[in-house]
Amino acid sequence: MRPLRVGIAGLGRIGRGILRANHAKIASGRFDIRVVCDVMPIDQVTYLLAHDSTYGRPPFTLDFQGNDLKLGQKSVRYERVDRRRRPDEDGLGALREFELDVFIDATGTATIDSMRSIIDNKIAKKVVCTSNIPGCDISLVYGVNNDAYDPEKHDVIASNTCTGNGFVPIAHILNKHFGIDYARIITIHPALSDQRALDSFHPTSHLGRSCAASIIPTGTNVGASTSLVIPELEGKLDSLSYRVPTEVVSVIDLTATLSRDTTRDECIALFEQYARTELAGVINCDYGAWGHQRASIDYLGTEFSSILLMKHLSVSNGRHLGLSLMHDNEAAYCCRVLDVLSVIHRAKKVEPKLKLVEPALMIA
């Protein structure tokens, strides 16, 4: 089967991270990213891809020629769009020539109408959004609800959120084996690009305070993101986020009341089993290094959705669970977006086989 043909709108931290992850291990790219769009001049895009203050230089050369980005030997067309208009409103009809299978919206400004227009105008067959836009056909967290994807029904797909991908696999395990009566989720999240370096106006006033000088409490949608994938947890989750003066790697601190009694040893065995089997590559059980605990920077660039700090796993009174998780909220999330593309790609491959089997069964 031919490689999946992909386009990306938005080359902020996530859009650039997807590009980087796609070419990090396979020179030609895990998927055939044919075109990318943003408001920046192409030289600035190349500069930011080549010089990343957080992750350093990528493992491939970068340059540009005319309207093409050069990622190693791979050429990717660059389309600059007007910053006053959304990319889908700005002549993306020209992208039909690339015959895209999937269009990734990493702009952070997607709406369901704009995403449907991409499909209706035959720019791409499917759309993947890097946020849970209202009205999307399905929100996928890789490793948890892959099997729910139906290529006949789901055209606008959300790859959930970075924190959602960190928490949902753990919530899935706990809910499946113990049940969750109630949980409070605290995230300690690095500052984001919409915050201010110095005190100034922000539509959300507290995010206008200097991100380098304060720990700033704010809301998080991790509870809602989880309920989209595990509906039975709706109304059982509370959450709060603290933005902190770090660049990357987020913490999720969970306090949960389970529906049945358990022990610390049972929880450890269960998480280790999932890390070896069903959720291998998605979760990881971390016991530190030579008896010492790691710091958040030590998880920079890790591809696991969720890293469980096993020393800090606690169970009291049988049902009260305490758990701390870390995850690279950029690199790991970008890897999961690519994994969602693989779910879409595999569904294309198996669909003809299912259609051939059904008539044979009917004849028999």
Amino acid present at 62: L
Residue 35 near residue 56, CB atoms below 8 Å = no
* Dist CA 202 CA 59 (whole Å): 37
Number of alpha helices (DSSP H) and beta strands (DSSP E) in the chain: 7, 17
- Give me the catalytic one of 162, 211, 267, 335: 162
Structure tokens at 280: 């291998």
Phi, psi of 121 (to 5 degrees): -90, 10
Pairing relationship of beta strands 180-190 and 250-258 according to DSSP bridges: antiparallel
Pairing relationship of beta strands 124-129 and 156-158 according to DSSP bridges: parallel
Angle 13-24/42-50 helices, nearest 10 degrees?
60
Tell me if residue 37 is catalytic: no
| DSSP per-residue codes, 32-57 | EEEEEEESS-HHHHHHHHH--TTT-S
State the CB neighbour count (10 A cutoff) for residue 98.
19
State the CB neighbour count (10 A cutoff) for residue 185.
22
CA dist 130 to 26, 51, 250, 327, Å? 23, 23, 17, 17
Residue 199 near residue 208, CB atoms below 8 Å = yes
Structure tokens at 7: 């386009």
Q: Any residues with CB less than 8 A from the CB of 199 and at least 6 apart, and which? A: 208, 209, 210
State the CB neighbour count (10 A cutoff) for residue 86.
18
In the chain, how long is the greatest CA-to-CA distance?
A: 73
Residues carrying an active site annotation:
162
